Structure 1
């Protein structure tokens, strides 16, 4: 058998706080590490070299894609894995990279787990399949100066593009959206400046408006976020493409967060019809119905969220919307409908699934205070 080789390709700058953890998670399964440094002033380069990495200097020119492509040109492996410095491969999955090198595919996705909040919490993640493995020497390059993407549509044939990209069972944890990381690196200011510059480019991708909308959403500037996400949706439609599911997810997140429930209804039904397998959109529909006091319809919708679950990585999915958060809102609906014991059981199930999701615990506490007569009558071994 012709032994295939795997190249790790990364770009870095001032990553001494996390680069060692990243490289340590992958060092035993890659054949070479190609790292492009865009101007570190800390110990990043020294740490990379201690892992045996080849480090190349690349003067920053305002383009993440240019820096990544510089690294790709120096990779000699049959396959390329690309990671960011603030990521880490699951220790129990790393060995699987050696197996997938013998797939016939040109492009593969991994399971990317994005943490958010104060600290890494397995119940506070956004999960998605993300294309991180591709065959070398096939023409793959990165494009867009920021939020760079592979040019898969240019490399893959029409037949390939009509087939789903396989997701291999390898988990990669991303820590870059944690609150302290965003604050320390001033990502909002940097990203927004670069993205707005991208908007001035002729024929810019509709993705740019989406990413601008995401930045504004994170800092709760909802009017600006809503304007740009709608521009992104229009941009895809003008290209005769169905807007990707996460655009609708962001749109209805904005409307709910800003209290624009009338603006969200009944439009959410159209989004659900486009992506009927997307649990997040169903969950948002349930929230909208609940706020509109349509409790029976909301209950049915949240129960459907449980049926859908959270295993579909084709969509960006918030942990809990097909499990403990849906159960919590089922409890809310049941309580509004006067089904107190059933509501309590649903709250208890939600609390058992997540030790850090406080809402069902608080709801159960209030329910027991409000309905002491009912709870006194329950047997001692009751699960509520």
Structure 2
């Protein structure tokens, strides 16, 4: 059999001859080495293996999926393996894409730490298809990985000091192993017994409520919702005490699963049977959703209000913006528009969008559109944006900023705001420098002396509207967290590349400011005997590129960067800059162990630069036991700070 890739496909199977035949036929166009390990079939599995001209092997089943998987890996011809189940198959028309993706992964990924993942499309009992909640981890090198876990086995690094890195691949596999409900239940019972055995728990414990709850949670966490539902039902049938410490967590998982599977009737009956027993924000919020779906709005309102009385929801928005939005939705349904407005105003961007829809539907005085002025004050320009209360941009412009000192900066700010006196409901400012946002003060170092400028107080007194001021990088993080690439993240950093280098840090979902509000002042970090505010200045880099390529004065930064990449001397400068930036990211990652790093500012939109930095970062960390964070551009571009400051203003106004 001619093979175009040095990859072995490893399959374990038992009594699934028909599905195995379909699987092997879908693999044939890939021309890979294939080994099928039979764990005790009594059907014509061996005939199917022979007819498809692939290699076969036998393994005595040991109630241990990892043992069978690892035996299949040992039978592989090549170290690089693709693991497939016999009830899965690939579409023939996807073969070219699959080969290209596998080739790219094996040539670029660090095989000592990386596994290739792809989505699995599961066929439901009614014939519909649903994308699995989690990608499957299937492509890796057996030199560095092996399977662990008797059930729900997973490929993990042989070197336990290495943290596994999942790399998504742009193809998917089809799966129909859960369409037969009887087989589905049998597999669930088999897996339960294997888990009991793995943990040294006797079979009699198969009706123990704690064990049943744990198994249900495990299935939910791995995206097998129907299996989870099966065991959640069994759990409550055997549960004897609602005071168990794990009860609230189990109930939360059960309610989430019922909602995800749209079984609202069952969920409502469950709540009616147990009453309002919830004791945390997550369960109160889920209860509110269920009663809302049943149009039992009074009970839903009680649940959502109770959710907002907590501050420790597992999904933070459930006790803040999501709960407020649902309360607003109920008020709107009940045509209590003033109350709807109150709740929507506290519900973030989604709430502001709901207000916009109300404005279109109703001619009510309280929905008169308010306008806000947002300013991003840099050291060379000021970006000015007029926003409505929903966050839509009404107008924007850029003003040159060439003042001599900060006293002149204040005068320029007043001059910029003056045309909008009596027209705006508030002013949001993000600005360079060290900012104490709660105090509304900017700290500027002039001639070795730190001078405090009470910007918020000065502008509030002058224009008689609320004013919020925030450091530009911290505002960018807030904007990206609320609306951009950090939505849903908990540990990340935003680096803004401008005249200097700004930084802001988010730890455990909160903006980290430090003891004196100075955390994230990257410009004052030193690398190779230079302050980073100098060596990583994006403005300075663009000036140098402009001179090298002799560009037209009216050229945009984007076109200038594209021309520079085609110029050997300018390209070398960009390479050096990206290496300096990669060193910075390594230093930051070593300190904070982040999930994501966002690059903002004008250069943050240059995807070529982002890719260069990512490549150099990977080279620097190839032999280091550090987690590989995602390195991405700011989704909101150079307006991230504008939106972050605007959000802070609305939050302050309540």
Same fold (TM over 0.5): yes
Tell me: CA distance 1:263–1:154, structure 2 relative to 1, closer, same or farther (3 Å).
farther
1:142, 1:52 → 2: CA distance? 27
2:290 aligns with 287
SS in 1 for 2:136: strand
Tell me: CA distance 1:217–1:24, structure 2 relative to 1, closer, same or farther (3 Å).
same
Tell me: CA distance 1:149–1:170, structure 2 relative to 1, closer, same or farther (3 Å).
same
Tell me: CA distance 1:6–1:60, structure 2 relative to 1, closer, same or farther (3 Å).
same
Aligned: 1:170 with 2:171: yes
User: What TM-score, normalized to structure 1?
Assistant: 0.58
2:134 aligns with 128
Structure 2: segments with no counterpart, 5+ residues = 202-210, 221-225, 305-325, 337-654
Tell me: CA distance 1:83–1:334, structure 2 relative to 1, closer, same or farther (3 Å).
farther
1:121, 1:60 → 2: CA distance? 33
1:88 aligns with 89
**8 Å Cα contact 2:70-2:146 kept in structure 1:** yes
Tell me: CA distance 1:217–1:126, structure 2 relative to 1, closer, same or farther (3 Å).
same
C-alpha deviation, 1:73, in angstroms: 0.8
1:80, 1:247 → 2: CA distance? 40
1:42 aligns with 43
Counting only pairs closer than 5 Å after superposition, residues 1-384 of structure 1 correspond to structure 2 as: 4-99=5-100, 100-103=102-105, 104-105=108-109, 106-118=114-126, 120-122=127-129, 124=130, 126-138=132-144, 140-152=145-157, 154=159, 157-158=162-163, 161=164, 165-180=166-181, 182=183, 186-200=186-200, 210-211=217-218, 215=227, 217-218=229-230, 220-223=233-236, 249=253, 252-253=256-257, 257=266, 259-260=270-271, 262-263=276-277, 266-268=280-282, 286-287=289-290, 290=293, 293=297, 337=334
Tell me: CA distance 1:199–1:290, structure 2 relative to 1, closer, same or farther (3 Å).
same
SS in 2 for 1:69: helix
2:190, 2:218 → 1: CA distance? 13
1:24, 1:35 → 2: CA distance? 13
Higher relative contact order (CA 8 A, sep 6+): 1
Tell me: CA distance 1:175–1:54, structure 2 relative to 1, closer, same or farther (3 Å).
same
Q: Which of the pair has more CA radius of gyration? A: 2
SS in 2 for 1:287: helix
Q: Deviations over 1:30-74 (max 9, x none)?
A: 421111101111111211221121110111111111111001012
SS in 1 for 2:192: helix
Q: Deviations over 1:57-108 (max 9, x none)?
A: 1111111111110010121224211111111123332322322233222311
2:75, 2:48 → 1: CA distance? 20
Tell me: CA distance 1:80–1:297, structure 2 relative to 1, closer, same or farther (3 Å).
farther
RMSD between superposed Cα atoms in Å: 4.4
Tell me: CA distance 1:248–1:93, structure 2 relative to 1, closer, same or farther (3 Å).
farther
2:24, 2:160 → 1: CA distance? 29
Tell me: CA distance 1:296–1:200, structure 2 relative to 1, closer, same or farther (3 Å).
closer
Tell me: CA distance 1:87–1:94, structure 2 relative to 1, closer, same or farther (3 Å).
same
Q: Deviations over 1:97-152 (max 9, x none)?
A: 3222332223111011222224x313x554431211112322x1111112211124
Tell me: CA distance 1:58–1:224, structure 2 relative to 1, closer, same or farther (3 Å).
farther
Tell me: CA distance 1:78–1:233, structure 2 relative to 1, closer, same or farther (3 Å).
farther
Structure 1: segments with no counterpart, 5+ residues = 235-242, 273-280, 301-328, 340-384
Tell me: CA distance 1:212–1:78, structure 2 relative to 1, closer, same or farther (3 Å).
closer
Higher strand share: 2
Tell me: CA distance 1:200–1:173, structure 2 relative to 1, closer, same or farther (3 Å).
same
SS in 2 for 1:26: helix
2:288, 2:137 → 1: CA distance? 29
**8 Å Cα contact 1:216-1:224 kept in structure 2:** no
C-alpha deviation, 1:208, in angstroms: 5.7
**8 Å Cα contact 1:26-1:89 kept in structure 2:** yes
C-alpha deviation, 1:9, in angstroms: 0.4
SS in 2 for 1:76: coil
1:69, 1:297 → 2: CA distance? 53
2:238, 2:5 → 1: CA distance? 45
C-alpha deviation, 1:27, in angstroms: 1.8
**8 Å Cα contact 2:291-2:300 kept in structure 1:** no
